[in-house]
């Protein structure tokens, strides 16, 4: 079976990248190949996890643009582009050219709290539940179809900091499951439609 050829985009610590690499090593993601790790931030701490595994890293700048990435996606038959803590908004053309292949990890229970500072906004809004979502990336920010969510309870003692920590733990569970579903072809975009074979009925999966 051919491996799912992936690009992973990061901007910061890269703990989700580290977790994906661990899941490949443990065999949970045995059909995944990371072709390259790409960042907008030359000092992203997470780049070290790619370096340790001799995975090529690239930095988006004037010499390496989204057009260059697009050409690579075509040339190397990239199957999946994973935004794992990528904090920049992708150009519309790039999203449209690769729609159906780009997924994003977002630290909230979408459609609640699109955008930034989700943990702080959960505390301010008094929500009793919080979590993380993985969704297809479309032109509209954080609005593409969600196909897995992990839920945590918000306790009275929680702060934005503790929520961030707990949401991260949930992210380490749901993002690998999402990637595995792709490798098993349980999720795919087919023309205009998103197919969630055996995965989604009416509601996003709640992974508790
Ligand atoms: C994650 O919480 C992700 O949901 C958000 O940015 C964070 C990245 O964390 N978009 P890390 O860089 O993987 O540690």
Ligand 1 mean position, distance from CA 85 (Å): 4
pLDDT of residue 205: 47
State yes or no: pLDDT of 150 exceeds 80.
yes
Ligand 1 mean position, distance from CA 1 (Å): 30
Of residues 206 and 82, the one with the higher pLDDT is 82
State yes or no: pLDDT of 146 exceeds 60.
yes
- Alpha-carbon gap, residue 52 to 68, rounded angstroms: 25
User: 75: left (phi > 0), else alpha (psi -120 to 50), else beta?
Assistant: alpha
Average pLDDT, the chain: 92
Alpha helix ranges (H) inside 115-156: 118-125
pLDDT of residue 196: 72
pLDDT of residue 201: 44
pLDDT of residue 187: 86
* Closest CA to ligand 1's atom 6: 85
Pocket test for ligand 1, best of 85, 108, 146 (most atoms within 8 A of CB): 85
Where are the extended beta strands (E) located within 43-192? 57-59, 80-83, 102-106, 129-136, 146-153, 187-190
pLDDT of residue 197: 67
Atom of ligand 1 nearest to the CA of 13: 12
Ligand 1 mean position, distance from CA 37 (Å): 15
Q: Identify the residues whose C-beta falls under 6 Å from ligand 1.
A: 10, 12-16, 46, 84-85, 105-107, 132, 168, 171
Q: How many CB atoms lie within 10 A of CB 154?
A: 19
Q: How many CB atoms lie within 10 A of CB 66?
A: 15
44-66 pLDDT, tens digit each: 999 999 999 999 999 999 999 99
pLDDT of residue 198: 58
| Average pLDDT for 142-155 | 91
Worst-scoring range by mean pLDDT, 6-20, 49-63, 79-93, 175-189?
175-189
State yes or no: pLDDT of 161 exceeds 70.
yes
Which percentage of the chain shows pLDDT scores above 70? Answer: 94
- Three-state secondary structure of 82-120: EECCCCCCCCHHHHHHCCCCEEEEECCCCCCCCCCCHHH
pLDDT of residue 199: 56
Q: How far is CA 98 from the centre of its chain?
A: 15
Ligand 1 mean position, distance from CA 82 (Å): 12
164-182 pLDDT, tens digit each: 999 999 999 999 999 999 9
């Amino acid at each position: 079976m051919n491996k799912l050829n992936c690009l992973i985009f990061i901007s910061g610590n890269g703990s989700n990248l580290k977790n994906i690499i661990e899941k490949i090593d443990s065999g949970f993601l045995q059909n995944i190949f990371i072709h390259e790790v790409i960042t907008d931030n030359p000092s992203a701490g997470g780049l070290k996890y790619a370096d340790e595994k001799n995975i090529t890293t690239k930095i988006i700048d004037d010499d390496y643009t989204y057009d260059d990435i697009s050409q690579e996606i075509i040339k190397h038959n990239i199957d999946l582009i994973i935004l794992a803590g990528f904090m920049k908004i992708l150009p519309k053309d790039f999203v449209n050219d690769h729609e159906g292949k780009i997924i994003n990890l977002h630290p909230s229970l979408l459609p609640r709290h699109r955008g930034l500072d989700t943990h702080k906004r959960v505390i301010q809004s008094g929500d009793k539940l919080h979590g993380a979502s993985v969704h297809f990336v479309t032109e509209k920010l954080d609005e593409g179809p969600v196909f897995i969510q992990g839920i945590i309870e918000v306790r009275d003692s929680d702060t934005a900091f503790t929520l961030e920590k707990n949401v991260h733990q949930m992210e380490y569970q749901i993002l690998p499951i999402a990637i595995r579903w792709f490798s098993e072809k349980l999720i795919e975009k087919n023309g205009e439609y998103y197919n969630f074979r055996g995965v989604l009925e009416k509601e996003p999966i709640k992974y508790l």
